[in-house]
Structure 1
Amino acid sequence: MTERTGTFVVTHAEPDSAVVRDVQTAQVHTLASNPDLEVHDVLEATVAPEPPMEVTWEVIEVDDQRSIELVDSDLEPTTYEKELAADAEIGDLVQEERAGTGEIHVFRVPGDEVAAAADDVLEDEETIARAARLEAVRVEVRSAADEGVLSVRYLPD
C-alpha cells in the first residue's frame, strides 16, 4: 500500500487511536495513534500504512486541520430559501451555491417531520463529509415546521 493525500473526516477518536474517512472515496483508515484529533475534525493530510502488517495507518503530514461546527439554529429559513422550496415537492432537495463559498440545501418535508429531519441531518456523518468537500467550517440547520421547509447552510469561515 502507498501513502494517500486527501481530505479526511474524523469519525471516531480515542486517546490512543482514531478513525478517519476520505471524503472523496469514502475509504476508512484506522490510525494507530491519535495526533490530537476529535470527532468531526477535518484534515487535509497525508496518511500511510504502518509496517509491517500495514493494517493501521499513521498521519505523515497535516496541511490543515479544522473543526466543523454543527448548529441547530433557532432561526427560520430565509425568505429566499422558502422561495426555493415553494416549487419543490415533499422530499425534494434543492441545492443552491452561496455567493462566494459554500452551498445551501433546501428540503420540503411534511410539517410534523421537520424536527426529526433536522436531527437526521445533524447526526448524519455525510453532512460533515459534504461540509469538508465544500470547505465549510459551519453547518447551520434552519427549519420552519409550519411551512415544511428545512434548510442546511454550508458556510465558510
Structure 2
Amino acid sequence: MTEKTGTFVVTHAEADSVVVQDVDSAQVHTLTGNDGLEVNDVLEGTLAPEPPLEVSWTLIDVEDRRSVELVDSDLEPTQHSKSLAADAEVGELCQHERAGRGEIHVFRVPGDRVEDAARDVLEDDETIARAARLEAVRVEVRRDADAGVLSVRYLPS
C-alpha cells in the first residue's frame, strides 16, 4: 500500500488508537497511537500503512488540524432560510452560501419531526465530514417546528 494524503475526520479515539474517515472516499483507517486527537477533530495530512501487515496506519504529516463544534442552537432559522423552505417540498434540501464563506442547508420537515431531524443531523458522522469538506469549524442546527424548517449552518473560522 502507499501513503494517503487527504482530509480525515476522527470518528473514534482511545488512548492508544484512533479511527479516522477519509471525507472524500468514506474509507476508514485505524491509526496506531493517539497524539491528543479527539472525536470530531479534522486532519489534513498524510497517512502511511504500518508494516508488516499494513492493516493499521500512522499519521506521518499534518498540514492542518482543527476541531468541529456541533451546536444545538435555540435560535430559529433566519427569515431567508424560512423563505427558501417555504417553496420546498417536505424532505427537500435547499443549499445556499453564507455571506463570505460557509454554507447553509435548509430542510422542510413535518413540524412533529423537526426535533428528531435535528437530533439525526447532530448525531450523523456525515455532518462532521461535510463540515470538513466545507472547511467549517462550527455546525449550528436551528429549527422552527411551527414552520417545519430545519437549518444547518456550516460556519468557517
Fold match (TM-score > 0.5): yes
C-alpha distance in 1 between matches for 2:74 and 2:20: 31
Task: Give, in whole Å, the separation in 1 of the partners of 2:115 and 2:101.
Answer: 27
Once the two structures are TM-superposed, the CA of residue 87 in structure 1 deviates from its matched residue by 0.2
Taking the aligned partners of 1:55 and 1:127, their CA distance within structure 2 comes to 27
Describe how 1:16-95 pairs up with structure 2 within 5 A: 16-95=16-95
Residue 153 of structure 1 corresponds to which residue in structure 2? 153
Percent of residue pairs bearing the same amino acid type: 75
Task: After TM superposition, give the deviation of residue 83 of structure 1 in Å.
Answer: 0.5
Residue identity opposite 2:86 in structure 1:
A
Structure 1, unaligned stretches of length 5 or more?
none
Question: What does the per-residue CA deviation read over 1:111-137, in whole Å, with 9 as the maximum and x for residues that have no partner?
Answer: 010001000000000000000000000
Displacement of 1:90 in angstroms is 0.7
Provide the secondary structure at the position in 1 that maps to 2:7: strand
Alignment-mate amino acid for residue 64 of structure 1:
D
TM value normalised by structure 2: 0.99
Moved over 4 A (4+): none
Aligned partner of 2:105: which letter?
H
Say what the alpha-carbon RMSD is for the aligned residues. Answer: 0.5
Q: Distance in 2 between matches of 1:72 and 1:61?
A: 33
Gap runs ≥5 in structure 2: none
How much does 1:100 deviate?
Answer: 1.6
The corresponding residue for 2:113 is 113
Cα-to-partner distance string for 1:33-80 (whole Å, 9 max, x where unaligned) = 112110000001100001111110000011111000000000000000
Instruction: Give the count of matched residue pairs.
Output: 157
Amino acid at match of 1:26: A
Instruction: Kindly indicate whether residue 97 of structure 2 is the aligned counterpart of residue 97 of structure 1.
Output: yes
